[in-house]
A and B are shown apart, each in its own frame.
Chain A
Amino acid sequence: GAGVSQSPSNKVTEKGKDVELRCDPISGHTALYWYRQSLGQGLEFLIYFQGNSAPDKSGLPSDRFSAERTGGSVSTLTIQRTQQEDSAVYLCASSLAWLGEQYFGPGTRLTVT
Chain B
Amino acid sequence: TQLLEQSPQFLSIQEGENLTVYCNSSSVFSSLQWYRQEPGEGPVLLVTVVTGGEVKKLKRLTFQFGDARKDSSLHITAAQPGDTGLYLCAGAYTSGTYKYIFGTGTRLKVLA
Contacts and interface: CB of A to CB of B under 8 A. Distances in A.
Interface in B92-107: 92, 96-105
- Interface SS, A side: loop
Contact of B98 (A99, A101, A102, A105): A99
Contacts, number: 49
Given A99-B92, A101-B48, A45 B102 contact: yes
Contact of A4 (B42, B101, B103): B42
Interface in A47-88: 48, 55-56, 59
Nearest to A109: B40
Contacts of A35: 102
Given A98-B98, A99-B92, A91 B42 contact: yes
- Interface SS, B side: strand
A40 B54 CA distance: 31
Contact of A104 (B42, B48, B103): B42
B99 to A, nearest CB: 7
A56 B40 contact: no
B45 interface: yes
A43 B31 CA distance: 17
A106 B42 contact: yes
A109 to B, nearest CB: 9
A48 B100 contact: yes
A103 B45 CA distance: 8
Contacts of A1: none
23 contacts: A41-B104, A42-B102, A42-B103, A42-B104, A43-B88, A43-B90, A43-B102, A44-B102, A45-B102, A48-B98, A48-B100, A55-B98, A56-B96, A56-B99, A59-B99, A91-B42, A91-B43, A93-B42, A101-B45, A101-B48, A104-B43, A107-B40, A107-B41
Interface of B: 31, 40-45, 48, 88, 90, 92, 96-105
Please provide the 7 A-B residue pairs with the shortest distance between their CB atoms, ordered closest to farther.
Answer: A104-B42, A43-B102, A56-B97, A42-B102, A42-B104, A45-B100, A42-B105
Given A4-B42, A55-B97, 13 more contacts: A35-B102, A42-B88, A43-B90, A45-B102, A56-B99, A91-B42, A91-B43, A99-B92, A99-B98, A102-B45, A103-B45, A106-B40, A106-B42
